[in-house]
Amino acid sequence: MGRRPCCDKLGVKKGPWSAEEDNKLINFILANGHCCWRAVPKLAGLLRCGKSCRLRWTNYLRPDLKRGLLSEEEERLVIDFHARLGNRWSKIAAMLPGRTDNEIKNLWNTHIKKKLLKMGIDPVTHRPLHRQASPEASPSTVTTDKSDDQLQSQGNEGQIPSSDNRSPAEASSIDGGTDPLMSCLWEDSAPVLLDELWQLSSDDDGNNYGSVIAGRMPWEEEGSSEWLLDIQDLENLDGERSISAQGYPRR
């Protein structure tokens, strides 16, 4: 097709966003919304491409974003959704309100993957590593002698022979068509029914994940309005920002 780049490289700023740029983008979108991302930088007076603006907004500036580390329960959800969906970060993120695909992807690559490996669980297939030594143990062709790098580059392709990027678990769920959680996910529905779905669904080994979510869901915890404070911080550009250039206190 031969498409144009999303922006002509000339005169377009790249790299980390300044507080002033953030402020401009926030003010513009809160006032006007974003009808067309390509037009946003021009209208907002930013020397950025629309794609960069969209990314900055969705991954960092969006008012409904949660900040800070994922709770253990959120982490567990990510692991389970990954087992079912593979590297479909946006789908996974959609089930965790206030979290972005980028955030979850980063978390997976930096934390969870290592954690699972440490526990002897293959982060790709979500099966015990030693079980994969036997040919019939896993539908995957992954073997234990693969390095972490190989697993990474393999992504979820290693577990998915078909071209549609489905994990074996999700493929079987879809083919079976009986998993309410999966049907919810595939229908892109909001996570409002998640509690019930967790209670209904159980994994291959019969574990009932409903018990994991016995109490409040992670996103019900307080702090969902912290963005207001953050925006106020951004608007206070003359003073010292209480948040770092990345937008939240660093570790």
Partner DNA sequence: AAAGACCACAACCGCCACTCC
Partner DNA sequence: AGGAGTGGCGGTTGTGGTCTT
User: Taking CB under 7 A as the rule, does residue 160 contact DNA?
Assistant: no
Do 82 and 127 contact (CB within 8 A), yes or no?
Answer: no
Binding to DNA (CB under 7 A): which residues in 167-206? Answer: none
Least CB distance to DNA at residue 59 (A):
6
User: Taking CB under 7 A as the rule, does residue 242 contact DNA?
Assistant: no
Least CB distance to DNA at residue 50 (A):
5
Q: Which stretch binds DNA (CB under 7 A): 31-39, 128-136, 218-226, 230-238?
A: 31-39
User: Taking CB under 7 A as the rule, does residue 52 contact DNA?
Assistant: yes
Binding-site member from 10, 33, 36, 187 for DNA (CB under 7 A):
36
Tokens 């692991």 locate to 79
3-state secondary structure of 20: helix
3-state secondary structure of 1: coil
Structure tokens at 94: 């959609």
Least CB distance to DNA at residue 17 (A):
4
- Tell me how crowded residue 131 is: count the other CB atoms within 10 A of its CB: 15
CA atoms lying within 13 Å on the CB side of residue 214? 3
* Distance of alpha carbon 116 from the chain centroid: 18
Binding-site member from 2, 33, 215, 239 for DNA (CB under 7 A):
2
Tokens 């954690």 locate to 115
Closest by alpha carbon to 223, among 98, 87, 66, 53? 66
Which residues form the interface with DNA (CB under 7 A)?
1-6, 13-17, 34, 36-38, 48, 50-52, 54-56, 58-60, 69, 87-91, 101-103, 105-107, 109-111, 152-153, 155-156, 244, 246-248, 250-251
